[in-house]
Every structure is written in structure tokens, then in C-alpha cells.
Amino acid sequence: MATKKLVKKCKVEHLKYNQDDLSLSISYILKDTSNVCEPISLLCMERQTEREISFPLTIHGVEEEKHIVSTTIQKQQLQYFLSNGEYWDFYLKMFIENESPEEDEEEEDQIFVETENSDESDNDDESENEVEAENEDEYKLYRIKCPIDHVELLFYSDEEVGKMLIPYPTNKGNFSFKVRDYSFITKVEDASITKNGLLSIKGYAYHPIYDKNIEIIKKQLIIQDAEELIVEKFDVLTENRSDLQNTFGHHEHIIQASGFYAEKNIFPLVEQVDEKIKLKAYMEISFMDNGELITVQSLPLKFFSFNKMYTPLKRIFKTSIKKKKVRLTRTKKAKSLLISISDYHFKTELKSKVKRKINKLKKSPLTKKLYKKVFKFVGMLPAKKNQVIFEAFLGKQYSCNPRAIYEYIKENHPEYKLIWSVDKRFTHNFDNKDVIYVRRFSIKWLFAMARAQYWVSNSRLPLWIPKPKHTTYLQTWHGTPLKKLAADMDEVHMPGTTTSKYKRNFIKEASNWDYLISPNAYSTEIFRRAFMFEKDMIESGYPRNDYLNKCNNPSTIRDLKDKFGIPNDKKVVLYAPTWRDNQFYAKGKYKFDLELDLHLLREKLGNDYVVILRMHYLVAENLDLSAFENFAYDFSNHADINELYIIADILITDYSSVFFDYGNLKRPMLFFVYDIESYRDNLRGFYFDFEEQAPGPLLKTTEEIIENIKSLEANGFKLPSSFQPFYNKFCYLEDGDASKRVVERVFK
């Protein structure tokens, strides 16, 4: 339930520093003056942990329907922001009286989602503009807009902690703070290209350390392609920006000389381009430090303004060979300047324009609303008996428990119609599998899902999907829990959500599950509590591990090594780490820093071993292993990790649940836990004493890994004494018949 919206046009009117304190005034308009609606305080909430700070408000009265309030954020509070979070969102907390609650349908923006270039995404999948209070009869929170151009220049910095607190408008135009290491504050205010190919870029670039303390020798503008190769580099002219200094200058920062203007004829570049390229602009400064020339480069220059209408600029150039199109635009999320160069064909251009119009129509709120209503209506029609929809890892893979159940049904129960739900970006993983699939969120998918008698998935489905009464939903999940899950998590550090929202959405979706598979009694207890699951639990072992039981033999191992091009005379080390909740580029797109020293591993073990790397499905990295040919292999996109388990003589992991599955093979495991203190205490926490009960040694350096591998080899790969108790607790149900038990229980 949510209360009726009583406040509109809530926005920041003014921001200014008074020495080290930041004062701000806020205006809002009441939609209905007959209701009692009074401001209580300014509330600042950390986006992921939901820590809160409140600031008292001074009421200044009404000016042309605008109610004006103000407050001051003191220096010690600014320092608290720097040390206790990454994103801070501002709300006006209003007292509400005598409201009639009305339904507020929850919207999930997951229909027709397409991949965007996230660039330096500011994690702006923030909370909705209005936040429902715990007691909606007492107060309500309203998100505050930030229509102030160049507001980032009002940053607060602390050299002792080496960080900046930067006010900024989110992608939805709301007022927030972000915490960053010292970096450039940049903005492109104007970009154009003439008919003759003269590219002009105007804006400002300021660095709080280098601009303040060091004499700059040279400022240059760099144009780079997607592989970060420099395609153009040219000097910029410094422009006096007294306008910025008068409005935003504060503390010891003098930003008057931050303006720049640059121009370059890029027609020769346009002529050389053979295929479509996308370019971004960066600022680079050069200075001398103790006799050494140092260069520092900014992030991609932003191209965003509240006060100007934004229209992409397109030019068509006739080169000596063909026509070329140059388009000045900006990336969707990070709002960075984007220069794209491509061939120009009228028919192709027209076709692309029509396609963009169609995609825009698909993504419109009206289309999404209609799609949901149609899904709900179709779900009221009779079920298509024996139709089963399978989905693994959000439609990205043909793998895991859904695959094992699918293959068992296909072999033993041909009366069922089996269909896979596939993300359109990952159809290549299914094209050669002899399976029937539909593209996720397509019209065909809608009818298949809504009429299906069974759903089988190993991860959560979008919340907006209404489960028909005739559908049985089998949730297989995808691992024995080591890390805390859902309701058991103290804090959530994932992008695009908050702790309470994550838990609420997780438990709401779990309430749709009719059956949940558990691999052992230990997991059953955790799943019931963490997911608040009260329906049928199938404690069967994991169907995906049937393969390990049946295929652990020399013949299969030899065939798989031949298939992957791995020498049969070398032992295989499989490195399969998990993701880190707080290391991400954007929502659903995590990064991973490879701490394993492959150079040292090759030097010490390369004669007898090869290394296979398997990153988590949420990690967005593309590993470049070209320097480790015939030693290190990237199998991150290989659909079936079971095949990698089978050929691996040793597993190296960290906190990933892969070691529970690999334990079925009774082979050695090493745990590379270089950040265990942070992971254990700050990110997730563990369900059992991992440091005492792990079925292998906990190691923090590559040198320790090498030492342990050599020791294992010398001892004939003997397992530690901690392994058998581990096996008895977690692997006792894995006998090769889990798929059969699940199918006989669910598919009656």
C-alpha cells in the first residue's frame, strides 16, 4: 500500500559553502493544500546499507506557491559521508495526516531490457522517487530533484582519507552524493562538427590535487576507441571561467582556469575508418615531479546539461571511397561524449531509424503495462498440459539443475513438451543443443510462460511476472550455501537495491515457488529460514551432480581433454572464484580483479600443469590470456562447469559454492582467500566456521598455492583429515539419482 502523492516539484534551489559547511535550500509545491503536509527534516540515506542521517529544517514560508526550507550540512557530517558509504540519496521527510491509502502497483523495469554501454555508470538504479514509510499515517519521503548545472563542482574533499564527496544529479535527475577517490571533475558543455570535419569541444576539467599544487606543463584532449587505443591527441586552449569561479569556487580550490577549448579536423580520420567505431574523449595533463614527466588522464568526459535542449548532431561526409556518418551523442547511463563513425547507406539508415522507433515503443511505460496485462490475461486461460519452461541463470546458460532435469525428462518422459527461456543475447549457447527455445520477454515467450503447466528455474524470475494458478513452479536453486542468503544477510552491497528492498523482493518471489530443491539437510534448514519458504522442500541432492557420479572415469576425462584441446599428459588446475557484491560496473554486471599470479604459476608449474579459469556468471570481465597460450585457458563462458570438474585434478576457489559440488569427486581443493577478513566481516558472512571446517588449506598468496600444489603432488594427492566430515555432511545424497527423485516428486 502507498499513500497518495501530495508533494510535487520538490527540488534543490540553492547550494553554497560557508567555509566548510554546505548550506542548501529546497522548494516544493503542495498538490492539495487541504491536507496537512508539513516538512519534518531532510533525510539522507546510504543507498545500499540504508544508513540514515537527518538534518533539521528551517521553514522560510511560501513564494509563488513554492514552500521554501533550508538546512546546513556541517563539516563533520560531510566527513561521515566520506567514510561510511558510497552513494547517499536525499529525501524530504513530510508529516502526513488524514490520507486515504490507495493501491500502488509495483513496477519492475525488466521487460524488453537491452544491453547498454554502462561506461562509468554511477549505479543509478536507485530507489523510486517516493519511498513508503513504515507507518504511512505519520510521514512520507519525497525524492529531491537537482536541476543545478555543474553541481559536481561543489565537491568536498579530504586529503587525509584521499577521497571526494561529489554532489550530482542521478540518471533520474535526483539529488545525491557519491564518494570517489581523487579524480577529475569534467564536463563537455558544447560539442560540434562542421561540414568540413572540424570537431570542436568546449567545457571544463579540474583536478583538486594537480590543478591546485602542481604547475601544469600541458593539457591535451585524447580521443580513444573502445580498446583504449589513442586515435587523436591534440592540445587544448585554457579558457578563463570566472562564471564557474563566482558560482562554485569554494575552500582552497580555484577553478577559474579550468575551462578548455579544443578543435581538430577529423576528416582524415573519417576517411581511414573501415568499420564502425565509437570514440570517447578524455582530458590528459602533464607535469614535472622531481624531474620526472608525469601524465594523468581523466575518465571519459561527461556531456550533460539540464538547462539546454539535447539533440544528437549528425554529419554525412563524402570520402574518396564511400559516404561516412559522424554522430556526436552521449552514452545513455554515464552521459559521456560519444563520437561514432560509420558507413552511411540511406536504406540501412532508414531501417535503423524504424528499428529504434519500434524499440522505443517497446520500452514505453504503456507497452510494458499492456504486456503485463496480457500476460495476466493469458495466464487465466487453461494450461497447456505437460508444457514445461526451463530457465538457467536468467536465460544465459544451458546448464545446472534445470539442464539435468530437462535431460532426464527428455529421455524418460517423451510426453512432455520442453521449452527453454533464453536471453536473446545468449541464444548462441542453445543453437547447437537440439533444444526448443523462446526468446525471453518476446510475444511467443509470453504465451509459452503464461500457458505452461510447469516452470523450472535455478534463479529468481522477475517480480512482475504473475504466476498462473495452473502453473507449478519448481525452484532448483544453484548451490549449497556458504555465504549468507536473502533474509539472513545483515547488509546488501549490490547495485540497484537496498537491504530492505532486496530482502522484500527476494521473499516475495520465493513465495511463488511450489517446490524447492535442497542438496542436503544443512541446506534445507538455511533455505527455509533465509527464503522464508513454507512449501514443499525436496531434499534430494542436486540433479546437476548426477553427471559427476556417472562420468568420473578415465575415458570421459580423456575425451573431454581432447575436446578442449588440453594435453592429456598434463594435470589440470581449475580456478573458479565467486563475485564480490561491492565490485561492480552496473546492476547485474560485476567486475573481478584477478589476484592469481599466472606468470609465477607458469614459471613454477608450467611443465606439468595447465590452469583453467572459470569466472562467476555475474562477472563481466573478459580475460585476456593471450600471453599464457597453452598454459591458461578461459572457460568462463563454457556452459557446463561439470565437464571442467571432471577434468580438474585440483580445484582452487574462494567462497564459491563450487567446492560443495567438486567434493563429490573426492579430489584436493585449495582456497585462495586473500580478502577473507573483508568478505567475512563486511560483505556476506558465513553460515559455518569456514576457516576451521574448509576441506582444504586457506591461502593468501600465489606462492602459497604453488607450495601446496607441490606438496600435494609429493603426497600422492592425499586428502586432508577435514575432508571426510565435510563429505559426510554435504555430499551424502549425491548418488546419481537426484534428477529421478525430483521428477518423480514434481511431475506426477
Residue 128 — very low, low, confident or very high, per pLDDT cuts 50/70/90? very low
**What span, in angstroms and rounded, lies between the C-alpha atoms of 226 and 72?**
43
Residue 107, pLDDT score: 38
pLDDT, mean of residues 564-582: 81
531-561: pLDDT as tens digits: 999 999 999 999 999 999 999 999 999 999 9
Please state, in angstroms and rounded to a whole number, the distance separating the CA atoms of residues 367 and 358.
Answer: 11
- Residue pair 542/401 in contact (Cβ under 8 Å)? The answer is yes
Q: Which of 565-569, 580-584, 586-590 reaches the highest mean pLDDT?
A: 565-569
Q: Does the pLDDT of residue 592 top 60, yes or no? A: no
pLDDT greater than 70 at residue 265: yes
- Please state whether the predicted TM-score (pTM) of the whole model is above 0.75: no
Return the C-alpha cell found at 379: 495466464
Q: Which three cell numbers stand for residue 86?
A: 558510497
Residue 642: CB partners within 8 Å, gap ≥ 6?
A: 544, 545, 547, 548, 551, 661
pLDDT band at 741 (very low <50, low <70, confident <90, very high): very high
pLDDT higher than threshold 70 for residue 2: no
For residues 456 and 399, is the Cβ–Cβ distance under 8 A?
A: no
Higher pLDDT: 592 or 243? It is 243
Contacts of 105 (CB under 8 A, 6+ apart): none
Name the band, by pLDDT with cuts 50, 70 and 90, for residue 495.
low
Are 294 and 286 within 8 A, CB to CB? Answer: yes
Q: Which three cell numbers stand for residue 660?
A: 560443495
28: pLDDT strictly greater than 60: yes
The answer to whether residue 676 scores a pLDDT higher than 90 is: no
Lowest mean pLDDT among 199-203, 296-300, 519-523, 616-620: 616-620
The CA angle 514-517-519, to the nearest 5 degrees, is 165
**Run of H or E residues at 697:** none
pLDDT at 358: 83
DSSP character at residue 468: P
* Residue 410: DSSP 8-state: H
- Identify the CA nearest to 89 among candidates 146, 135, 6, 14: 146
Residues facing residue 388 across a β-bridge? 418, 454
In the chain, how many H helices and how many E strands? 20, 38
Top-confidence range, 388-392, 610-614, 617-621: 388-392
The residue type found at 128 is E
Q: How far is CA 271 from the centre of its chain?
A: 37
The H-or-E segment that residue 36 falls in is strand 36-46
Of 165-179, 347-361, 392-406, 611-625, least confident by mean pLDDT is 611-625
List the one residue out of 737, 730, 650 whose CA is nearest residue 696.
650
The pLDDT of residue 98: 52
Which SS3 state, helix, strand or coil, does residue 198 take?
strand
Residue 76 φ then ψ, to 5°: -65, -30
pLDDT digits (tens, 9 = 90+) for 293-348: 888 999 999 987 654 545 668 899 888 778 899 999 988 878 899 999 988 888 88
Identify which of 80, 88, 14 has the alpha carbon closest to the alpha carbon of residue 248: 14
